[in-house]
Amino acid sequence: MSDPQVEKEAGSAEPVQAPAPEPEKKKREYKDFGHDEEDKPSHAKVDMDQIQLKAEDLYDKEKVDLETIVVDDVFKLLQCDENGLTDEEALRRIELFGPNKLESEEQNAFLQFLSFMWNPLSWVMEAAALVAIALSNGESRPPDWEDFLGIVTLLLINSGIGFYEERNAGNAVKALMDSLAPKAKVKRANSWREIESSQLVPGDMISFKIGDIVPADCRLTESINVSIDQAALTGESLPQSKKLGDQCFSGSTCKQGEAEGVVISTGPNTFFGRAANLVGQDDDTTGHLQKILAQIGSFCLVVIGIFVLAEIFCLYAGFRYTYRRGLDNILVLLIGGIPIAMPTVLSVTLAVGAQQLAKYKAIVTRITAIEELAAVTILCSDKTGTLTTNKLTIDRDTVRTYGPFSPEDVILLAAYASRTENQDAIDQCVVGAIGDVTRARAGIKLLDFKPFNPVDKRTEITYREESSGKLKRVTKGMTGIIIELCTRNKTDDIENRLEADVEEFAQRGLRALAVAYEEVDGTDPEGEGNGFELIGLLAIFDPPREDTKQTIDDAMALGVKVKMVTGDQLAIAKETGRRLGLGDHMYPAKVLKDGPEPGSRFRTLDEMILDADGFAGVFPEHKYEIVKRLQALGHLCAMTGDGANDAPALSRANVGIAVEGATDAARSAADIVLTEPGLSTIVHAIRGSRIIFQRMRNYAIYACAVTIRIVVCFSILAFAFKFDFPPFMVLIIALLNDGTIMTLSVDRVLPSNEPDSWDLAEIFAYAVAYGLYLTLSTVALVAIAIRTTWFFDKFGVTFHGGAQQALDHNDPQLHTIVYLQVAIISQALIFVTRSHGFFFMERPSVALFAAFCLAQLVSSIIAAYGNWGFTKIEAVSGGWIGIVWVWDIVWFFPLDLIKFAMKATIIKYLRNRHLAAVAAQTAESGVPMTRTTSRAASVHESLYSNRVSFLRRAARKVGFGQKILMKPEELQRFSSIQAARTGSVLARHPSRPTA
């Protein structure tokens, strides 16, 4: 009913240039996806006089499908007309149907705070608090209030810091999303107005024009040359013509014309909403970092559990300790051995890292994705807009001429035959090639212009040349059409040259645009000309971004293999790969279904996928399959995408990256949202994530080593000397440690040049070595103090009451000495774990060093002035403080030697064993495997999964959330749960009386 479309078809049909097989093949390939024969409009299989519909009638597609029934029935079913809804009715419906936006569950702040106390490590501390307040109440002594308050304070401080940082990161993302709120033009009470699109309801009349985003699923009631780009939703590469009665999807873009329509679906019930909800993260998914946290936590809990049981048997059964005395010793292990700050330190490190990545225009929406990005081994990248500029350009070096015109003349004449306003992509690139847009109309008077249409597949201009007064005509378009038009100077030689040139362009992935010219006799613009003559062939391509080649080289230097995944033609993919240095081992997407051809060098599809530099003709389901297979081979995979149709692959990938300009649906499925085009942002993010990973790894080694150090040390002291260290002082050590360790989140570290992975065997090996060595340093000090008078003889220092040696094994001054010695050397260990060589060769951050100095100043002050009777410590002399500092310094320096010895022996053995296991599995399967111990699951991993999953479920039961969550299977049909409920309510409360 409307004229053929101009911008839409010109920009999209040009890829199908030549009569050669390649372009035609591409057209067929595009059409095969989502271009089935349209269903004819049907009538609803319900009594239209009975408007008081039941929900199952309105949303049962067997009876009525709002997407395909005739528009008149849509108006009846939705109880509206072309004058629009009244304000009162619109307000009533928004209460029934909810806002027209994707619901994002806002986390309750209080529950988010509590989530930091909901993991096994915190449970042990909480159990210790209960022991201190409840079980310690005996032997005519009051409950251990000091320890109880200390433990609770430690928990609150850790939770508070983690909550603050994570909340800040979340608010930054929310601000980004809020800034994208779109507007919609709606007809209410027979007058047009502009409102936020979130206020639209089913039954609203809306209007949109070229450049607008369709705000809701609608059926068109008026359509003037409408062309809609649905690529971001359906994967269709070509914009679609829309006529009266057709459906337009929310989130698609109007490329041409203007239209009015009636809204049939809003919010989560739109095609856009269903795609986003289908890939929404499930509450109970277990992230990669949670698995690691679970395994480290389990290691610490097992160590503590073994020694707690040993103390129970030894102290109670062997030494006949009283109830309270034994309990105090057990509390020391529980409080000191648990790395309570671990979830908080990792959360803070990731949150601070997310803010640092934001400087590179990468907004992190799931902060644990930073850790996974550091381990990514393969990056699957879009071509258009990421590797390339997404701006078609004339390749001046390959312009072919066939007549008396120069390449510059051909480009200028092609610009004459292009629009200068409301341009499609082809016209824009041709006019852009002449530099100054005004040159496209300079020196000529436009008499007639025929825009592109899908039948003629060309544009044509008739103009008067002002310098000579002659009428001339230029046409440009699809090569086969243009050569058929030409009648002048058309020889076999010209046609052979043209055919060879088009074939060369096709093989190189360049799109051909033919240009022809004729002169018109007389003054009639409609008059016949002297016959078109082929004058030139233009090559159009999407050039690589300036920084892409260097960025890909940088990625490969970081050990990340880049694979191109594009919906474009295979020839175009190969040409782009060659220009970028990616390689040209590109394969069509059909191999993912058919597998390697018989006789090829690949035995399996997995081998082919690993070898490939990229895939062409890819649809969203192919992206998903590629990611799935790479993950099955042990790779951690990152995937870029921009449309709602990419959401499943983005959600499946270890790290989903929504590129600049992506739709809200893609953003909701992605882990990282880029706000700047190009691949360089991703490589910056990879390098930044590896810095963050190194900080977390350094902390993990430190935390496990301190657990070994505390648990083994105080158990041995209790077994050997019946030494009862005060639980409260362990709390002080933990508190000062946590305050210092938080600064690791901004520590100065170097990123690795290979993908990182959590080799937990290495971490635990280092931890055991460091922990046992530090244990030895404390046991030696206590043994000398108890068994000899060496310290008195050499330095003249005494214990409580002037004793020359600690004959009382629980001398309060000995407690203070042990406290200071443990506090100093345990915290100093971080300088060894954070460095790869000697500790003094890698300068720490100012924050870390200052925090360490401050913590040790506090520890020394406590040792000098801490006469705290309730916790059995007594101030010591300055001589003792100096002795402990010198003792710790002497014991500190060999820690580096232990590190080097471990690397040369046990760590080397573990790595060789790992490589041997990979080689064995590769030999067995024939496919190189990248086995990372980090991908191993833990029996306790679910206890860490999205720490708040349990709390969220509890919140819904007590009414905190008040939001309906829909399962994917319930959203796969148009009759979603929410739509059914709102339709039922609308039927019970009709806007007009039933017939």
Instruction: Enumerate the active-site residues.
Output: 382
Provide the CB-side half-sphere exposure for 842 (13 A, CA): 17
| Distance separating alpha carbons of residues 311 and 313, to the nearest angstrom | 5
The sign of the CA dihedral 838, 841, 845, 846 is positive
- With beta carbons less than 8 A apart as the criterion, state whether 374 and 750 touch: no
Helix (H) or strand (E) holding 989: none
CB atoms within 10 A of CB 53: 25
Angle at 643 between CA 638 and CA 648, to 5 degrees: 55
The secondary structure of 740-761 as a DSSP string is HHGGGGG---PPPSS-----HH
Helix (H) or strand (E) holding 614: strand 614-616
CB atoms within 10 A of CB 611: 14
CB atoms within 10 A of CB 942: 16
From the list 301, 340, 326, 144, the residue with the least C-alpha distance to 715 is: 326
Helix (H) or strand (E) holding 302: helix 288-311
Q: Tell me how far CA of residue 115 lies from CA of 162, 180, 577, in angstroms.
A: 10, 30, 47
| DSSP one-letter code for 108 | P
| Distance separating alpha carbons of residues 213 and 178, to the nearest angstrom | 17
Tokens standing for residue 656: 């989903």
Q: Where are the alpha helices (DSSP H) in 508-646?
A: 548-557, 570-580, 591-594, 605-611, 620-632
Provide the CB-side half-sphere exposure for 237 (13 A, CA): 23
From the list 486, 519, 480, the residue with the least C-alpha distance to 503 is: 480
- With beta carbons less than 8 A apart as the criterion, state whether 290 and 118 touch: no
338 CA to centre of own chain = 32
Residue with tokens 């092609």: 414
Exposed/middle/buried for residue 787 (C-beta within 10 Å: 0-12, 13-18, 19+): exposed
| Distance separating alpha carbons of residues 745 and 819, to the nearest angstrom | 27
Tokens standing for residue 694: 């190194």
| Distance separating alpha carbons of residues 495 and 534, to the nearest angstrom | 10
Provide the CB-side half-sphere exposure for 601 (13 A, CA): 5
What angle, 0 to 180 degrees and rounded to 10, lies between the N-to-C axes of helices 288-311 and 760-787?
A: 30
Q: Tell me how far CA of residue 615 lies from CA of 278, 573, 633, in angstroms.
A: 25, 8, 18
Helix (H) or strand (E) holding 535: strand 533-541
Torsion of the alpha carbons at 405, 407, 408 and 411, rounded to the nearest 10:
100
Tokens standing for residue 943: 């206890």
From the list 130, 150, 124, 336, the residue with the least C-alpha distance to 870 is: 150
Spell out the residues 6+ positions from residue 707 whose beta carbon is closer than 8 angstroms to its own. 299, 300, 303, 304, 337, 338, 339, 767, 771
Strand ranges for 625-709 from DSSP E: 637-641, 655-658, 672-674
Residues in the chain, total = 995
Spell out the residues 6+ positions from residue 723 whose beta carbon is closer than 8 angstroms to its own. 714, 717, 782, 809, 810, 814, 818
β partners of residue 536: 401, 515
Residue with tokens 């030895």: 776
